[in-house]
Amino acid sequence: MSDTGAARVSEDVVGTLPSVGAVPAYPDVHNYSLIWGAMRVWEGDGWQAESMSWKETAYVAANLVGPIEVVISGPDAQAFLSKISINDVYSWPIHGSKHLVMLSDDGLIANHSLAVRDSEHSFRTLASPPWPLFQQGKFHFDVDIQLNEIFVLQVAGPLSLQILERVLGKDLRDIGFLDVATVHIPGIDEPMELELSRIGMAGTLAYEIRGPLSSGPAAYDAVYQAGKPLGIKRLGWRTYAVNHTEGGFPQLGVTWLPSMIQDPGVQHSPLGPLLDAPRTGSIDPSDVRARMRTPHEVNWAWMGKFDHDFVGRAAMEAEAVDRKRKTVILRWNAEDLVDVFASQFQPGEPYKFIEFPVAPQQPAGGHADLVTKDGKPIGISSAAVYSYFYREMISQTTIDLDQAQIGNEVVVHWGDFGKRIKQVRATVERFPYLDLPSNRDYDLSTVPSGV
């Protein structure tokens, strides 16, 4: 690329390589996997290096692909979204994005997504299942719903802004947190018109590039080629959930299951089997509720506005006056973890193996481990991750409010229900766990210019 101009899409790479989903089939990436119906990178540059990327350099990831853009338009678009979400969508600025949270009647999170307001009567939800489509027929609103196949390219880490400026050949400092802008990546034949937003799951500085699925491989490669001299890594699904846990982002399908899987319409659609996940962990697999969450339980209740009627409002209001749990981070005891590994080399039934960097491997929204204090159940631990940055095993845990104080020592029951269980000591820690500057508050003046 030129030192003064924008990076061009690498014709010698993209023009000769096949694509796998939304990424080029790089010869040095040997692990791709079919997840949720789409091919994704499983491991790109080694999970240790990938784990360090959003703290030291940057990563590029194309883990969100397929029919994941839901366009909701029409005279009643606002009224419809207001009915199916806890948010006050009427206050949302045009060309801005917000986190949209949707419930089922029982107050459990049915779906959540990033949402963009394009005009007074047009919204898009991104990177999540099309729950609005299943809700449309239950109400009488004048709305049209369209599904589009897109790619969502995530670029995160302290050098992400510099890399994107190298790709686009322009200063991007005026794009604030949650802002959305139209950008153009110089292409082989013509520039690609894409969408850039300052948002991400890493907890640190992060951006997303979104556009038609067919443009995904070229956009990915443009970012990767521009970032290679700066140490960019290709983040795969094997490591992807580490940033959710470190950065404090509960996520459907990753740390819990969406209650929409209980909807008959979803169950009888192709989406149903994709959204469900093996119900592993020390809690009885028949206990589906232990694998779902409410806004209060994942610390999202502040988004809810009781100034409008919405699905699940009664249940959420009742929980607001009798809240029982919140989400914290548990740091697992290293000595007890060593016992788990040692059992693999001893006679008899070993403890359940702990995979690195995520146990069990993703998607693992159906995983739920019992958490106790003095033998009493007090919470539910989701999939555990090994943080190579901190050299610790941590997990997001929904825990009783009176047990949520930092430093409290509890026990995680690691293993599968009915099999050998290891009681792992753990300590309640800060949430989020990552203690680096957040995306919202990042001082962009510290980032070297890419133009």
DSSP structure class, residue 179: B
Q: Tokens 């540059």 belong to which residue? A: 45
d(CA 194, CA 175): 15
3-state percent breakdown (helix, strand, coil) of the chain, nearest 5: 25, 30, 45
| Upstream peptide bond of 360 is cis (omega within 30 degrees of 0) | yes
Q: Where are the domains of the chain?
A: 11-67+149-235, 259-429
Q: Which CATH number fits the domain 259-429, given the four candidates 3.30.1450.10, 2.40.30.110, 2.30.110.10, 2.40.110.10?
A: 2.40.30.110
d(CA 294, CA 323): 10
List the pLDDT tens digit at each of the 451 positions of the chain: 333 345 444 444 334 445 666 788 898 998 888 777 677 889 999 999 999 999 999 999 988 776 689 999 999 999 999 999 999 898 888 988 999 999 999 999 999 999 999 999 999 999 889 999 999 999 999 999 999 989 899 999 999 999 999 999 999 999 999 999 999 887 655 667 899 999 998 899 999 999 998 888 889 999 999 999 999 999 999 999 999 999 999 999 899 999 999 999 999 998 888 888 899 999 999 999 999 999 999 999 999 989 999 999 999 999 999 999 999 999 999 999 999 999 999 999 999 999 999 999 988 899 999 999 999 999 999 999 999 999 999 999 999 999 999 999 999 999 999 999 999 999 999 999 999 999 999 999 999 999 9
What does each C-alpha distance from 426 to 268, 369, 406, 417 come to in angstroms? 40, 13, 11, 20
Work out the burial of residue 276: count CB atoms within 10 Å of its CB; fewer than 13 is exposed, 13-18 middle, 19 or more buried.
buried
Strands (E), 214-284: 233-234
d(CA 39, CA 44): 13
d(CA 10, CA 185): 11
**415 in Cβ contact with 352 (< 8 Å):** yes
Give the DSSP H or E segment for 327: strand 325-332
List CB contacts of 390: < 8 A, sequence separation 6 or more. 246, 433
| Assigned CATH topology for domain 11-67+149-235 | Gyrase A; domain 2 (3.30.1360)
